[in-house]
Amino acid sequence: MTTTAAGLWLKDPLAIYTGDGTDAGGGIVVDGAEIVELVPPGGVPSSPHAEVFDASRHVITPGLVNTHHHFYQTLTRAWTPVVSAELFPWLKGLYGVWAGLTPRDLELATTVALAELLLSGCTTAADHHYLFPSGLEEGIDVQVDVVRRLGMRATLTRGSMSLGERDGGLPPQQTVQDADTILADSERLVSAYHDRRDGAFVQIALAPCSPFSVTTEVMRDTAALAKSLDVRLHTHLAETLDEEDFCRERFGLRTVDYLESVGWLSDRTWLAHGIHFDDDEIARLGAAGAAVSHCATSNMRLASGIARAVELEEAGVPVGLGVDGSASNDGSNMIQEVRQALYLQRLRYGAARVTPERALGWATAGSAAALGRTDIGVLSPGRQADLAMFTLDELRFSGSHDPLAALLLCGADRADRVMVGGRWRVTDGQLVDLDVPQLIAHHSESARRLLARAA
């Protein structure tokens, strides 16, 4: 179903979080792909609307925005050999499996990740794909096709690994590429797919994987290319103390010093994890306008630490949320990620400083800012009509009093309706135009074959 040219009024929601403090208790009017009006409590729209949807059972939020993922990892969830491993041994155990990825594997893995995200209220996702073994050189092209088919928005990052085991890096040699190949394909993808307009469904960013898997030259040359092409930069940074030790030993620098040395300390950059920053580094990141994707579940799963999200935000760092890869989460559920971030950050800062509204802000406006987008993340006139609608009819919500807080505190895990650019992509808790049982069957078989190839 699409909204009509004359508009759709989502009337009188049970609760609404707009993201900018506006009280839109009377609902929202959508016309085409955009929000055209917020209706005050008890009010009626001044905008024309041919359709009315009774939202009195629904809590409405902006579409959630996921700032860090590895879609391909949905094929290696809960893999026994690394269930209790921390980051470096976890990676070493999995690299050999991932080296066997095929285009069909990636297509299925991407479809599963995006489907899960949509069902959890997510409308925009950033993926960090850095594996291009033989036969998977056009991996990002595969992902573009899936994104377009499912009707979501995505920032697809052309990742890279160039520092293999032979040269002192972590990944095996069959998973790395040379610098010329990386840079040429990066430029090709930006030219082919990057849409700079408001309402873009596909954007491309450049994303060398990490200091321990990419050479200094590739980091520096990628930053220069991103500047010349005017696209964003993404990488893992300060995720673990092992990484900090690696940077000190190899470069003689802490992680943020290294970031600055290769031309990455800027407002073009958003960083995955960002756990182990000291006070000075937080201030420098804030002054530069670099953003951080907080991945609470993955950080707990791999015992990496707790990001200093509140201090980062208060220093001027845009803070977003990411579910991270489905081999370190092991799911792609964005509303659950908001809950995890709420609780993990309360352990560091206390309950009063980390409210449900603050956590939702990280998942919406904060995440949009991390991706450099001003057209999503807030429900306001002129923004894209990206929104999630949750019901509180399940047993887990019985007895709850604050509908917005109940989404997180009572553990919502599935949206009832999700709209992207004025089009319903989830209705009555079901994905539009996707055979989920068939997808599960094909994806599960692909996962089995991937492990069999690695055996």
Could you tell me the pLDDT band of residue 172, with boundaries at 50, 70 and 90? confident
User: What would the pLDDT profile of 57-76 be if each residue is shown by its tens digit?
Assistant: 999 999 999 999 999 999 99
The model scores a pTM over 0.95: yes
Could you tell me the pLDDT band of residue 6, with boundaries at 50, 70 and 90? low
Q: Which residues pair with 208 in a beta bridge?
A: 160
Alpha carbons 322 and 296: distance in angstroms, whole number: 8
Q: Domain residues of the chain, as ranges?
A: 8-62+383-431, 64-370
User: Which pLDDT does position 305 carry in this prediction?
Assistant: 97
User: Which pLDDT does position 124 carry in this prediction?
Assistant: 99
The neighbour count for residue 350, using CB atoms within 10 Å, is: 10
CA separation, residue 138 to residues 108, 130, 304 (Å): 15, 11, 32
Classified by CATH at the fold level, domain 64-370 comes out as: TIM Barrel (3.20.20)
Q: In the chain, what's the furthest Cα-to-Cα distance?
A: 68
Classified by CATH at the fold level, domain 8-62+383-431 comes out as: Urease, subunit C; domain 1 (2.30.40)
User: What would the pLDDT profile of 439-455 be if each residue is shown by its tens digit?
Assistant: 999 999 999 999 999 98
For residue 330, say if its preceding peptide bond is cis, omega within 30 degrees of 0: yes
Query: Does residue 185 register a pLDDT over 70?
Result: yes
Query: Does residue 23 register a pLDDT over 70?
Result: yes
SS3 content of the chain, % helix, strand, coil (to 5): 40, 20, 40
Mean pLDDT of 235-239: 97
